[in-house]
Amino acid sequence: MTRRLELEIGPVAHGGHFVARHEGQVVFVRHALPGERVTAEVTEDDGRFLRADAVEVHLASPERVEAPCPYAGPGLCGGCDFQHVTLEEQRRLKAAVVSEQLQRLAGLERDVVVEEVPPSDGLAWRSRMQYVHLPDGGLGLRKHRSHEVVEIDHCLIAHPAAREPEDGVVVEQVETSTGTGVLEVAADGFWQPHVNAPRTLVECVLEMVDVQPGESVLDLYAGVGLFAAFLAHAVGPAGAVVAVEGDKAASRHSRANLASYPWARSVAGRVDRVLHRGVGAADVVVLDPPRVGAKGQVVRAISDLGPRAVAYVACDPAALARDIGYFAEQGYALADLRVFDLFPMTHHIECVALLVPEAR
């Protein structure tokens, strides 16, 4: 029997849901907004807390809008968390999550602004999609935290030229204010999904670290060498770039993408192990770890190199905040933080943090 609760919705929480309480128990509610009164349908009960979907709204937030996609909502496609929220409020909610994680995990009080990235309507931005191909030839997407499939005719956040994972290699062109790069990447390999993400992140990292000709740069979790290629161009023949990537296929592509820069090399191997073996000096370190973050061992190894600047690209604010705390223990302070809305209509964001040695 379906269990329904009458709830008053509290603040946003990391993960695309909002916090409410029922008889002292925490309830994480999707499809709601702070200040709303809703009827919520319980979807999970693990004993410690409940998960629920707001299925009726009795007192609506002024920031609530009708979802542009007919497949967004309770019990439907799980890809978008925030289609019922104005874009401006989506960014404010995401900023609140980043601020809360920094305070809770790194002990930092910081006002955060989430920056808009075109397209400004928050739709048609996703360059890669993974559909479920149905027996009748139709397409589907999965429900939230489920293997169940919702059949769709079109995904509104998919770019018209969005690719699906396949065998082979594709070439991505990245245009930035400092030049244009052509990168080779496996068709089913990792690539930033927002059509404007590569340009946005490369420009941000280059501006933050202000790398100079002749410097040595270490690019960790380098993927196919997106940052490494532009960093190699910036340091020039008198400099050096080492790109470290654990995925062998991505590392092979990185080697090909850096071939025109003899002063740049790609190293295949787990980042922690490569750092333990030694990679030489580093004036600047750039890292873009997976969602779990870099963790303490890697942070300590980076700090031991004594770089003048560290640019940390992160898709998970909790992992980033935890690692900023680890950097602080090693004498590195957060000097700058930019947050980009590279996943509109969802709870996801991308952060770029600049860490520098604390003044002594």
Domains 4-64 and 91-122+167-357 share a fold: no
Q: Of 155, 204, 315, 351, which residue is the catalytic one?
A: 315
Phi/psi for 281 (5° steps) reads -75, 160
How many Cα atoms within 13 Å fall on the side-chain side of residue 55? 16
How deeply is 167 buried, as exposed, middle or buried, from its count of CB atoms within 10 A (0-12, 13-18, 19+)? exposed
- Would you identify the CATH topology of the domain 91-122+167-357? Rossmann fold (3.40.50)
Sheet (strand 149-152) strand order:
132-133, 139-142, 149-152
Question: CA 267 to CA 282: how far, in whole Å?
Answer: 15
At 317, the amino acid letter reads P
Structure tokens at 166: 């396949």
Which position has the higher pLDDT, 184 or 112?
112
Residue 315 a catalytic site member: yes
Tens of pLDDT, residue by residue over 329-355, are 999 999 999 999 999 999 999 999 999
Segment among 108-122, 150-164, 169-183 with least mean pLDDT: 169-183
Torsion region of 313: left, alpha or beta (phi above 0 gives left; psi -120 to 50 gives alpha) = beta
Domain 4-64 listed as CATH 2.40.50.140: yes
pLDDT of residue 181: 73
Q: Position of tokens 């065998």?
A: 167
Above 80 in pLDDT, residue 184?
Answer: no
Task: Give the chain's mean pLDDT.
Answer: 95
> In terms of DSSP bridges, do strands 332-340 and 114-115 run parallel, antiparallel, or are they unpaired?
parallel
Q: Is beta strand 132-133 parallel, antiparallel or unpaired with respect to 139-142?
A: antiparallel
Q: Which pLDDT belongs to residue 146?
A: 95
Q: pLDDT tens digit string along 42-65?
A: 999 999 999 999 999 999 999 999
Tens of pLDDT, residues 28-38: 999 999 999 99
Q: Would you kindly state where each structural domain of the chain is located, as residue ranges?
A: 4-64, 91-122+167-357, 126-162
CA distance 144 to 226: 31
